[in-house]
Structure formats: structure tokens, C-alpha cells
Structure 1
């Protein structure tokens, strides 16, 4: 089950709640709504009753903050957090659980706090204060590119890879959209140098540049992206891609 609620409009904080117990799930959701209203904080909140749905949907939703139960069927909250952390190293993770015995095990995913149930409002509110203080909404990276007829702004965390074909650069997005420039008079290398000279992208092929943050798995021949799509990596570029990937992860 995934349930979406937009509490205010505008550039929003994104929060995911996952708990298989209905009463606990509704209590956490209610407290989060109360907190956001008290703080006059804009947020998109999604609520899940199973970690599988959480992991699948958050590939696209990419919350800034996760509030996770630990004891859930099939996949524990800690296991889910490990998978989520791999693709979102900056996410703030809060564990809420009735089992104190998991506290030590939870540390390897670097949670911001570990709250025992029944959850106390003051404890959750102070933890959310800390989590939000670590989220830089204003600094959420965006780029503006030329498209036919004008300009378009793209969120950096939604770009999977950039492709160059027939003098046109296309941005392949995690939403499934492909956003293309007009025909260019410059080559791909020059375009990347002018527009993406930082560390967010790395050339993995003569006509492809991958978002380092979107890499889920890397082999000597292929890159598996967040969401499952695969793109090739040239033998001559593998070492550079690996170096950038490892720098990002660790």
C-alpha cells in the first residue's frame, strides 16, 4: 500500500513512513502531520505497509527522510534501509520499533535516531527537527537546459544518463521522460565540459555520460541504473567510472 498526501504546495520535503502495523502506522502518520502543521513545513508524505512497496516506489520518490519500523514481514526495516541507503546516501533514516535488541545492528545504516514504541510525540518531534536541519532543500540541485522553443529545468537526482546522438543531447530521466536539446554545433565532449564539468556525471561511453548517483551496479561491460535499465560502459572508460563510483559511495 502506498498512500500519498501533499500537505502544502511549493518546493517540498519528501517523507516516507513504513510500518506493517496499522495502528502504529496511523499514529506515526498523524504525528508527522501534526509536526508539519505546527512548523508550517511543506511536505509530501507517503505511507507504506510493506518494505517491498517502499523500496520500489522510493526509487522515484526519493524521500529526504524515512521513518521505518524494524520488525516487518519478509524484509526487516534494517534490510530495507541498507538497500535504500545504497541509492540515497544523504537520506535521513529514523527507526521506530518495539524491539530494543536491534539497536546495535541498525548502526551500520547510520540512522539519525532509534525510537522505541510507543512513540512519544516529543521524541519524534525533536528527531524530525534534527533530520530536517540536515536536509538542504534550497540546495537541491537543478539544471536548466536549452530545449526546442525555450528552456527547461531538470532535477539532478532525476537524471539517469545523458546521451549524444546526431548532434542532439538527450537527458534520460527516472520518470521515463527524455528531454532533448536542439541540434548542437559542438561535440559531446565539449558540451559536457561546458555544462557538466563537475563530479555528478562521468563519460562511460563515447556517446553516453552516466549520473554517478544513479549507478546501482557496475561491471566491466555494463552499468545497471537505479530502476533496472542497463547501459554499456566502454573498456577504455571503466577505470574512471569505477573511481568516480567508489568516491561517491565511500
Structure 2
């Protein structure tokens, strides 16, 4: 399911964009959840990286789309932004906030669907290398390569990442399955390591980003084999 935000102060264009999204959903066989906002100020107030695509009007009364996009990029570098504007020169500034594209008013479905298809392609490529987890107060999207390791404590999963620590609920078994296509190894019932960040093994511990983490006795040999294979792939 795609989560799309419409940030547009004119009700006419809000309704038109919702109508176009419904048609796109039917044409492409996608499932889309749409949330609408009437101003950039309202939108960024509780923004928590919860959307895949943002359709953002450039000119709004309280906070314009460009300023809102700058605030969004401080907390979410991945969401796809498409500007909606009646002046092409505003859209050019969108490159400063890594906007994917822009749609000119008045909006035609053909132009809109082309740009939305491009946004969906980027989103799906991005999802191939990301994981979305629920955290207190919302959700966050983590880049797979930013994850150092995951620790299980009861029903909690604690992600140690380049951006800091994130806690969610779930089981290690489910997470292990979700990350099975990446270079992760479960060296202990309570730890899942990203081999990309393993520096080596020290006696009975894996050294991950300089931190020593336990590897169970039965897992030591397969862990070393997995690590050696990963390093071999990296130097081919």
C-alpha cells in the first residue's frame, strides 16, 4: 500500500487530486491511502516520515510548499516530493529539496499520471533497500545499510543504527525472515548482526562497530563462514 499526502489549500485541487489518485489506483492496480492537508504548517507539525509520496502545493498562505519541504528533508531524506504549482519557475527551486518532479496547474490526468508513475518507480526502488518499523508515536524508515545490529529484549526489538537507537515490537524470527535477502546473520538468539558492519570475531564475540556482542557456541563456525563469504563477495 502506498501512503500519499496531498498538501493543498484550494479545495478544488484537493478534490481533483483525490479523483486522479482514485483513477490511477484503478488503472495501475495499486492500493493507495490518501491524507489531505490544507497548509504546509499543518502538515509538518506532526510529520513522522509516515508517507511514501507527497503532492505539495508551492503557494499556500501560512507556510509555502518550499519551506515545508525544507523542514521535511531535515527528518526524512527518502520521501518522494512532487510540487503542484501554476508557475514553472517555482518548480526549478525544487531541486534544492530533492523534489522528484512538478505538475503545472491546471492539472491534466495524463501529465499527473506520468509523474506519479515515475514517483512510484522511485519509491519501489527505495523500498528494496529500506525497512519501515513502528516506533512510539508513529513509524520510521531505516536504510538497511544503516543498521548495525538488532537486539531482542522480550517482545521488544532494539535497532542500533547510524542514526541512533530505535525500539519497536515484534519477534526476532519475523525480522530475520524480513531481512533474509540481505547480509544479516543471527549469531545469538538475542542478536541479529549486519555483516556489513562486522569488523571480525574476538573469542566468543562478534565485533560490530567496535562493540563486542555474543555469538553462541553452536553459531560460531557458521558465523565465521558467513562472514568469510561476505568478505569474499566484497573483494571480488
TM-score bucket (shorter structure): 0.5 to 0.7
Match of 1:21 in 2: 10
Q: Do the aligned partners of residues 158 and 109 (structure 1) sit closer, same or farther apart at CA in structure 2, a change above 3 Å counting?
A: closer
Contact 2:85 2:105 in 1 (8 A): yes
Does residue 1:77 correspond to 2:65, yes or no?
A: yes
Contact 1:115 1:123 in 2 (8 A): yes
Give the distance between the partners of 1:103 and 1:141, measured in 2 at CA.
Answer: 28
User: Which of these residues, 19, 28, 34, is aligned with residue 30 of structure 1?
Assistant: 19
Match of 2:180 in 1: none
Aligned-residue offset at 1:112: 1.6
Does residue 1:52 correspond to 2:25, yes or no?
A: no
Match of 1:96 in 2: 84
Give the distance between the partners of 1:192 and 1:113, measured in 2 at CA.
Answer: 44
Q: Which has the higher contact order (CA 8 A, sep 6+)?
A: 1
Give the distance between the partners of 1:156 and 1:104, measured in 2 at CA.
Answer: 29
How do residues 90-169 of structure 1 correspond to structure 2 at under 5 angstroms? Answer: 90-136=78-124, 139=128, 141-142=130-131, 157=141
Aligned-residue offset at 1:68: 0.4
Aligned residues: 175
Q: Which runs of 5+ in 2 are unaligned?
A: 134-138, 160-164, 173-187, 198-207, 213-236
Cα root mean square deviation, aligned: 4.2
Give the distance between the partners of 1:143 and 1:31, measured in 2 at CA.
Answer: 27
Give the distance between the partners of 1:196 and 1:116, measured in 2 at CA.
Answer: 44
The two structures have a TM-score, normalised by structure 2, of 0.58
Q: Which runs of 5+ in 1 are unaligned?
A: 1-11, 145-154, 182-189, 207-250
